[in-house]
Structure 1
Amino acid sequence: MTTPTPDPIVVLGGGPAGMACALALRTAGQPVVILERYREARPAGNILNLWPPPLKALREIGVDMTGLGAPNHSTFQNLRGHVRADVRIPQHVVDEFGGGFIGLLRPDLYRRMLAALPEGMLRTGQEVVAVEDRGDAVRLTLGTGEQITTPLLVGADGIDSMVRRHLWGDSPKREHRLHIIGGYTFDPVPEARWGELPLIHAATVQGTYSSIRSDGREGYQWWVLEAWDPAAPEPADLLAHARRLAAPFPGALPALVAATPADQVQRWQIRDRKPLKRWSKGRITLAGDAAHATSPYAAYGAGMSISDGYFLGQRLVGVGLADTAAVTAALAAYERPRIPHTTAQVQQAYVLGQVFHHAPAPLRPVRDLILDRTPLLQKQVGERSPGEIIAQLEEMGGGIRQPA
């Protein structure tokens, strides 16, 4: 007698969260497919940084990490170069992962993750328009009218997630009233310091750059961030606007912006949604931006999305998908530690953006005096972030099949 092939887990969304979830579930021994609404999985943005936990996750789920990105040491500074916070990752972590903070291009990560997917796992042009949890399975209706049954649905479908809306209703986006312009260049810029990521704050603008490596080429990515009315039109010339913002900054930033071709510059408005208290209900759960859309101030949005996949796979090792109680227990175990961690990152990123870019003009000198003369930012960012990274690595254990 032939044993019937079980319906695979469906991951909705082909971004970093969706691909990480699918690869992790495959590593856990579960059948899985990705449904992507667009004709191809494509990156949303150009620049990216990753901390050690997502690097560990990528390695564990089979993504080729050879030569991916460049190591950077992060500091928060004022416009005069005074260091307000020094983010020092323990040396053994730097040695294991090739750096405490890796700068890379987002399309490079997409190509590596796509290459790791087995043939047939990613199904493009598949728009899901309705979801129904029937207790023993989840039924999905596609835009074509076709219906698919799955024992578990993972909504990794971004900040505008229809799975999140199905589970918890609609919720407004939270406008940070900020925008970021970022770009990258492989032209030599002598002023740039290889391996350093200085986050420099003027009174109302943040300017930053970091080292990158892409297809054997070494270069730099940069970004400038300022307050911006979300109802206002974007600047007519992004590169010219970025040059004006970067001009007052010391060191390499103005030269890096000047060396960047216009077609290697992008802009995006910063917004999120307030964190959820639960991600899972029945046989459905969330991952990535669908669960915890995050401001770039955390420098951890994509990284947390990748780590979501790792922990989801870890919790589903050996779980029989026909057993509803076992599936729901696994999803509860998956979200229980992830929600406090991601919520803290989302909220810290929001608060930092407000403090640095929306403080009333009379309070800015007071803010800067506190940040320059007290250890507040060092404790909040310079010490807390490495501590959380170490805690995450310990929580990850030896691998998806070797939990801590």
Structure 2
Amino acid sequence: MTGLRVAVVGAGIGGLTAAIAMRANGIDATVYEQAHELKALGAGVAIATNGSRILSRLGVGDAVAAIAGPVTHYQFRTWQATPIAGEPSTLGFDDPARTWCLHRGEFQKALADALPAGALQLGRSCVGASEDSDGVHVEFADGTTVDADLLVGADGIHSRLQGKVTRAAEPVSEGIMAYRGLIPAERLHGIADMNASSMWLGPAQSFLAYPVSAGRFLNIVAFVPTNLSVAESWTAPGDVAELAAAYRDWDPKVSAIIGEMDSTFRWGIYDREPLNHWSTDRITLLGDSAHAVTPHLGQGANQAIEDAMTLAVALREADAGDLGPRLRRYEDLRMERTGLVRRQARAAGRIYRSTELGPRAQAEQLRAILDSVAIDTYDAERVAEQAGLAACGQPASAVTSNR
């Protein structure tokens, strides 16, 4: 270990990956999570090539791949079932062979299991932090405190630590909410392709389905317009009858899938205007705490994973005295990338729900967006190294395990 002590607040995908990546780079990192247990929340998450590449290098790839849905191809159709880019589709988010469609709770557990005993502390709700030239002092609701050299805020879109770094920015609604749910595979009776990530595009709304949990469940995300303030939560209850009514005239397969749902949850869709900076000399932000993004490119978790690896590279061989410049290099590199992803995710959502574009135009514009984000080819670790973030030019292979 380098001797650098890092406290990570938040045991979401970004926070756990950050701790794994920093420990792989010789940094003593501990995650502090307010929940008393990591609950298996019923929500899907797609880890694309830009994320799976990093997780594989960190030695958790096999464990995560084992719980992924068996996606082999993509389907993009209009709301009346017309393919927008042929079938099998010539359009896709990334290489399906290197994409993991996951149950979020199972994924979170796989990451938590990759940390050594004591590196994840549950029931530790951060209520305050202060820094000086000697380090950062972190306070928790249970009265305990921790002293560290660096504090990483990975506590989500409603981050408490964001205000310690810059003026807190409120989440911005897209005017969309999503119904989410899981359906056991045995109930579908061939209704859904359990080897596909399938999306239906329609006027003002869209519908997404893909397998998770090694194919045991189909994950549903149905995006519909709303003028209500809907919580950014995976656990706000919804109404299956309302969901069914919203898709009554769509492809009969969509209605049939909804017909097999017993329950659903409502999820508000928000992002945030870019922050002017993410870091002080002792505190930095990561993932949704720094750059919340709408889910239309499936990049929220992947951008947090990219952040985690970039930060780990920036901290290689660091000492407590030179953290400020390293953190600013980290945020400078990530701001451009995450800003692009935010803009393009919003644009993709508008294309999915367009009332004006025909199928060919939708396919062409989506292809241009996906090309711009370079999901297949973007390598956050290599980009960070080439940008000079790694101290002393030390190659990743000398530090990062399980290549």
Give TM class, smaller chain.
0.7 to 0.9
Q: CA deviation at 1:382?
A: 4.5
**Distance in 2 of aligned mates of 1:155 and 1:396:** 20
TM-score by length of 1: 0.83
Cα 1:280–1:46 shift into 2, 3 Å: same
Structure 1 contact 74–101 (Cα < 8 Å) conserved: no
- Helix, strand or coil at the partner of 2:267: strand
Cα 1:399–1:168 shift into 2, 3 Å: farther
- The one-letter amino acid paired with 2:99 is F
Deviations 1:318-353 (A, max 9, x none): 222x3x22x223223322222111111112222343
Structure 2 contact 296–348 (Cα < 8 Å) conserved: yes
- Note if 1:201 corresponds to 2:205: no
**Distance in 2 of aligned mates of 1:145 and 1:383:** 49
Q: Greater CA deviation, 195-204 or 172-181?
A: 195-204
**Distance in 1 of aligned mates of 2:295 and 2:361:** 26
- Helix, strand or coil at the partner of 2:161: helix
Q: CA deviation at 1:289?
A: 0.8
- The one-letter amino acid paired with 2:194 is W
Cα 1:250–1:107 shift into 2, 3 Å: same
- Helix, strand or coil at the partner of 1:65: helix
Q: CA deviation at 1:270?
A: 0.8
> Which residue of 5, 10, 30 maps to 2:7?
10
Q: CA deviation at 1:205?
A: 1.5
Runs of 4+ in structure 1 deviating by more than 6 angstroms, as ranges, are 232-236
- Note if 1:229 corresponds to 2:233: no
- Helix, strand or coil at the partner of 1:391: coil
> Which residue of 386, 390, 399 maps to 1:401?
399
- The one-letter amino acid paired with 1:74 is Y
**Distance in 2 of aligned mates of 1:23 and 1:271:** 28
Please name the residue that 1:338 is paired with: 334
- Helix, strand or coil at the partner of 2:379: helix
**Distance in 1 of aligned mates of 2:230 and 2:104:** 27
Deviations 1:186-233 (A, max 9, x none): 223313223322322111110121232x2x544422221111112479
> Which residue of 7, 21, 29 maps to 2:26?
29
Q: Which runs of 5+ in 1 are unaligned?
A: none
Query: Superposed, which structure 2 residues align to 1:141-152 within 5 Å?
Result: 141-152=139-150
Cα 1:343–1:74 shift into 2, 3 Å: farther
Please name the residue that 1:58 is paired with: 55
- Helix, strand or coil at the partner of 2:377: helix
Structure 2 contact 295–345 (Cα < 8 Å) conserved: yes
Cα 1:45–1:344 shift into 2, 3 Å: farther
Cα 1:125–1:280 shift into 2, 3 Å: same
**Distance in 1 of aligned mates of 2:215 and 2:180:** 19
**Distance in 1 of aligned mates of 2:124 and 2:285:** 18
- Helix, strand or coil at the partner of 1:24: helix
Query: Superposed, which structure 2 residues align to 1:62-141 within 5 Å?
Result: 62-63=59-60, 64-70=63-69, 71-80=71-80, 81-83=82-84, 86-88=90-92, 94=95, 99-141=97-139
Structure 1 contact 178–228 (Cα < 8 Å) conserved: yes
- Helix, strand or coil at the partner of 2:102: strand
Structure 2 contact 205–223 (Cα < 8 Å) conserved: yes
- Helix, strand or coil at the partner of 1:110: helix
Q: CA deviation at 1:400?
A: 8.4
Structure 1 contact 313–400 (Cα < 8 Å) conserved: no
Please name the residue that 2:190 is paired with: 190
**Distance in 1 of aligned mates of 2:99 and 2:277:** 30
Q: CA deviation at 1:24?
A: 0.8
Cα 1:334–1:228 shift into 2, 3 Å: same
**Distance in 1 of aligned mates of 2:75 and 2:372:** 13
Structure 2 contact 38–109 (Cα < 8 Å) conserved: no
> Which residue of 384, 395, 399 maps to 2:372?
384
Cα 1:44–1:312 shift into 2, 3 Å: farther
Q: CA deviation at 1:46?
A: 1.3
Q: CA deviation at 1:145?
A: 4.1
Q: Greater CA deviation, 188-197 or 164-173?
A: 188-197
Q: CA deviation at 1:275?
A: 1.5
Q: CA deviation at 1:86?
A: 4.0
**Distance in 1 of aligned mates of 2:29 and 2:43:** 28
Cα 1:76–1:278 shift into 2, 3 Å: farther
- The one-letter amino acid paired with 2:248 is A
- Helix, strand or coil at the partner of 1:162: coil
Cα 1:400–1:335 shift into 2, 3 Å: farther
Q: CA deviation at 1:59?
A: 2.2
Q: Which runs of 5+ in 2 are unaligned?
A: 386-395
- Helix, strand or coil at the partner of 2:376: helix
Identity %: 20
- The one-letter amino acid paired with 2:333 is P
**Distance in 1 of aligned mates of 2:361 and 2:65:** 42
- The one-letter amino acid paired with 1:153 is L
**Distance in 1 of aligned mates of 2:202 and 2:36:** 42
- Helix, strand or coil at the partner of 1:138: strand
**Distance in 1 of aligned mates of 2:369 and 2:194:** 22
C-alpha RMSD of matched pairs (Å): 3.0
Structure 1 contact 72–210 (Cα < 8 Å) conserved: no
Cα 1:172–1:251 shift into 2, 3 Å: same
